[in-house]
């Protein structure tokens, strides 16, 4: 049984994240998505909200679990008996940081491998930050995330769930 963890901030999840989760759920027996609670960052959504958003968006995939975590991804992997850490790779801009993280994690935990999923082309440009910026200035969010998530972003930023 190969268990993978997929750690990240997911503030909030986008179609890019959901695509990685779906594809990882096919390649691995179980995928545990780790939603990072980092007390030195101030995310738009609380860790509980980010967990709930992801639970709702992935409820149809039986071998996916959503959990919050703090600290190192390798510790989160160990706690969940995972052999693999999944990360998504979009462009070269992701590469340097992701390579450094993967190598650091290998030093910390040589028994855990990092597996990269290359982004699907239609989501290559997409990040939570971009989605929030477009939302702030009133752009159309339909291509970025499912309606439940984009409505939550609009409600947070503008105090109502009105559709633009
Ligand atoms: P972090 O703060 O750990 O980078 P993110 O929530 O931004 O957390 O991203 C989590 C993971 O998902 C990262 O590996 C990131 O590269 C990947 N990711 C983010 N957006 C996309 C996307 N559009 N396509 C594929 N992977 C993505």
pLDDT digits (tens, 9 = 90+) for 70-128: 999 999 999 999 999 999 999 888 899 999 999 999 999 999 999 999 999 999 999 99
Ligand 1 atom closest to residue 118's alpha carbon, by position in its atom list: 25
Question: CA–CA distance from 123 to each of 14, 57, 141, 164 (Å)?
Answer: 9, 17, 13, 21
Q: How far apart are CA 96 and CA 76, in angstroms?
A: 23
Residue 125: helix, strand or coil by DSSP? coil
* Ligand 1 site, residue 90, Cβ cutoff 6 A: yes
Annotated active-site residue in 17, 30, 50, 87:
17
User: Is 90 a residue of the active site?
Assistant: yes
Rg, the chain, Cα only: 16
pTM comes to 0.94
Q: How far is CA 118 from CA 32, 75, 82, 92, 95, in A?
A: 19, 24, 21, 11, 11
Q: Kindly give the distance from the C-alpha atom of residue 8 to the centroid of ligand 1, in angstroms, as a whole number.
A: 7
What's the rounded Cα separation, in Å, for the pair 160 and 152?
Answer: 9
Q: Which architecture, in CATH terms, is 3-124? A: 3-Layer(aba) Sandwich (3.40)
Confirm or reject: Cβ of 20 under 6 Å from ligand 1.
Answer: yes
Q: What is the pLDDT of residues 6-58, one digit of tens each?
A: 999 999 999 999 999 999 999 999 999 999 999 888 999 999 999 999 999 99
How confident is residue 160, by pLDDT bands cut at 50, 70 and 90? low
Reported as a pLDDT band with limits 50, 70 and 90, residue 163 is very low
Mean pLDDT of all residues in 136-140: 94
What's the rounded Cα separation, in Å, for the pair 38 and 76? 14
Q: Is there an atom of ligand 1 within 6 Å of 94 CB?
A: yes
User: Any idea where the domains of the chain sit in the sequence?
Assistant: 3-124
In this prediction, residue 60 has a pLDDT band, given cuts at 50, 70 and 90, of very high
Q: 164 falls in which pLDDT band (50, 70, 90)?
A: very low
């Amino acid at each position: 049984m190969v268990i993978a963890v997929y750690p990240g901030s997911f503030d909030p999840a986008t179609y890019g994240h959901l695509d990685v989760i779906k594809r990882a759920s096919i390649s691995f027996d179980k995928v545990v998505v780790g939603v990072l609670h980092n007390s030195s960052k101030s995310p738009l959504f609380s860790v509980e909200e980010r967990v709930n958003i992801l639970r709702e968006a992935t409820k149809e995939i039986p071998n996916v679990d959503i959990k919050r975590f703090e600290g190192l991804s390798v510790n989160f992997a160990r706690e969940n008996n995972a052999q693999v850490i999944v990360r998504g790779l979009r462009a070269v801009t992701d590469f340097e940081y992701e390579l450094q993280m993967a190598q650091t994690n290998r030093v910390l935990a040589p028994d855990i491998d990092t597996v990269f999923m290359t982004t699907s082309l239609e989501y290559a440009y997409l990040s939570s930050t971009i989605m929030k910026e477009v939302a702030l200035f009133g752009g159309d969010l339909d291509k970025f995330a499912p309606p439940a998530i984009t409505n939550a972003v609009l409600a947070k930023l503008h105090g109502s769930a009105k559709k633009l």
